[in-house]
Chains A and B, each alone.
Chain A
Amino acid sequence: MRFVDEYRDPALAQALVAAIERDTRHPWTLMEICGGQTHTLLRSGIDRMIPDLITLVHGPGCPVCVTPLEQIDRAIAIARRPGTLFASFGDMLRVPGSETDLLAVKSEGGDVRIVYSPLDAVRLAQKNPDREVVFFAVGFETTAPPNAMAVWQAEKLGLRNFSVLVSHVLVPPAMEAILGSPLNRVQGFLAAGHVCAVMGYWEYEPIALRHQIPITVTGFEPLDLLHGIHLTVKALEEGRVGVENQYSRAVVREGNRPAQALVAQVFETCDRKWRGIGPIPASGFRLRPEYSAFDAERRFEVEGVTADESPLCIAGEILQGLKKPHLCPAFGKQCTPERPLGAPMVSAEGACAAYFRYARAS
């Protein structure tokens, strides 16, 4: 398949592995930001192809994983309201809230639907004018433009039965939080290519300088990741800091300006709590006051919902790269994909689930 097979070529992969082996002389700890990248690393076996000197730790870039428990509980409370049509991306449905998950709400008779685009949820609202249609607007900068577009369109269409439950988070503040922790062990980042396709990478330049680290904007195919690892390790070995762009076929420094403008029109920056990490200042989006009519939290008065995490779960340490999933005492025992204690075991992109699925035997 074009634009896919080229980035999975075994000969090129071997050449990149050889280059990484040749150029790695010291132990380094790298973090890939995005859960999609974690998934590719384990699915294609890259974690076992690269030298032992390189430790890959897996970052917080899985929207399913970092959406706070109380936000899941709010989603469940809204989805259970009679007459509500609750639309969500598929992988949010299995995330456990305090007591249950959205799939269970569906099995109880709730109208919970998987959509592939937020605009599908807008269409559902148009087709069902007598129903409240609520879309679970989660994600990083990547899904912010389509989610903003959905709200913008709903406003233009004058839809009164459409709202969004927003749980948007941003990558740079999370990187700052990880690097600023006294326990930090990350020496170089593979930044998430699709986030940068929207936002560009100018935001990462001051972070790289302030913390004296290399950051490599990296794609999602196996060769992208091997190439990103190679560039980052070379920079570390040569003592270079700053941002390099491995994913130049999709990313330019300034990003996608029209997408950024739309996001800025609909959303504003706010403090957000991250599941497993805690509150990070200015780390997310909420709707601007002019769009507050589309805010599901206000419409359904679920702002007061609070929740507590399982004390056994070490998701916070996992998501900050302090521990590897299989070193958690609950991994594969009390915590499995069937009975997840924390979000990284739920999503296919979660680091714990990826370890459980692809690497358990090692």
Chain B
Amino acid sequence: MSTPPIVSSPDPSLGSCPLPLSDYPSVQMAHGGGGKLSQQLIEGLLVPSFDNPTLSALHDGAVFTAGGARLAFSTDSYVVRPIFFPGGDIGSLAVHGTVNDLAMCGARPIALSCGLILEEGLPMASLRAVVASMRAAARAVGVSIVTGDTKVVDRGKGDGIYINTAGIGIVADGIVIDPRRARPGDAVLLSGRIADHGIAILSVREGLEFESPIESDSAPLHDLVARLLDRLGADVHVLRDPTRGGVASATNEIAARAGVGIRLDEPSIPVSEPVRGACELLGLDPLYVANEGKLLAIVAREAAESALDVLRSHALGAEAAIIGEVVEGRAGVVTLRSSIGGSRIVDLLTGEQLPRIC
């Protein structure tokens, strides 16, 4: 099997002809929503400005060699509101999110940093609870929080607490996880039910009450990934945790990077009953809703069944499923076979999903 080098020269088109940042004179919420505007901001402003081959790989984290070791390095900021939500809080989320970004590089996470931006007036009890949650989450993962920073901003200038975590991890020899390795025939696997996190947050933020409470799926995926890599090695081609923008955006990004098509099978995509109900009610498509503890894996076709076995034997992958395949098709286009057997495109969203009128 030929594998492309993990660090390649940047796409020349990115530097010479940045995508227009649409016509927005100021930053919109959708610039952070994981859809088209986010993509335009990243590929039109950030990548050409910072211009280097490691960044241009546009992976969840950077992978590079330093002192003979292959390292993965990633950072993420957490601004979730409310800071305590069903199934988690901003502290555990800040640990899981960065651990997962490292895991998606095929890395074993070893250390995290913690930057706190606190708003004047945040109850000390809340801060203690968040820090305790970070500690517990880091312990459970087996990573240390080894450095940090604290800033306090005026009341009204922040949302209680924002957290930035960065992390480093070690990538074993022979492991090459890269969206460009998706190739026709590969199987697309998902580790479980989608859209739990986004709907859990929406329900508390908007005061929506459902018959059965919906909890965030926030969880660390490093162990699930480690087992998958142990068993399948180089047959694991791409790993993604479909956070903002959901499975639809993650598959679109992979298809675009690899220059392949991806065909999804709607009936195979696991969605819990309460989440489906909430999405039907609000006119939201669960494919675009955020997850914080789900793994999307693209593996060689012949390894698909063993990958499914590995995922299903893990507590976080009990409901794993093969949800589609990589196809020749039109490069960058994700299609979906609908539940009644029709076919449609799954596009990148322009902005955030908005609830419909009726």
Contact = CB atoms under 8 A, between A and B. Distances in A.
A338 B338 CA distance: 26
Interface in A26-51: 36, 42-46, 48-49
Interface string A87-110: 001111110000000011011100
Interface stretch (B1-9, B165-173, B349-357): B349-357
Given A90-B355, A114-B354, A361-B330, A43 B344 contact: yes
Contacts of A336: 350
B52 interface: no
Chain B interface main SS type: loop
Contact of A90 (B330, B344, B354): B354
B344 A42 contact: yes
Interface stretch (B19-27, B57-65, B143-151): B19-27
A43 B28 CA distance: 27
A139 interface: yes
B195 to A, nearest CB: 13
A348 B342 contact: no
Interface string A1-25: 1001000111001100000000000
Contact of A8 (B27, B28, B277, B340): B340
A13 B267 CA distance: 14
Q: Which of A13, A43, A48, A194 is packed against the most chain B CB atoms within 10 Å?
A: A43
A103 B22 CA distance: 15
Interface string A79-93: 000000000011111
29 contacts: A1-B273, A1-B277, A4-B276, A9-B340, A10-B267, A10-B339, A36-B356, A43-B338, A45-B340, A45-B343, A45-B344, A49-B340, A49-B341, A49-B342, A89-B356, A90-B354, A90-B355, A91-B356, A103-B29, A103-B351, A106-B29, A107-B27, A114-B206, A139-B357, A194-B358, A222-B339, A339-B22, A347-B356, A348-B354
Interface of B: 22-24, 26-30, 36-37, 206, 208, 267, 273, 276-277, 280, 282-283, 330, 333, 335, 337-345, 347, 350-351, 354-358
Given A43-B338, A44-B339, A116-B282, 18 more contacts: A42-B344, A44-B338, A45-B338, A46-B342, A49-B341, A64-B357, A89-B357, A90-B355, A91-B357, A104-B24, A106-B29, A107-B26, A108-B26, A116-B208, A339-B22, A348-B283, A348-B354, A360-B347
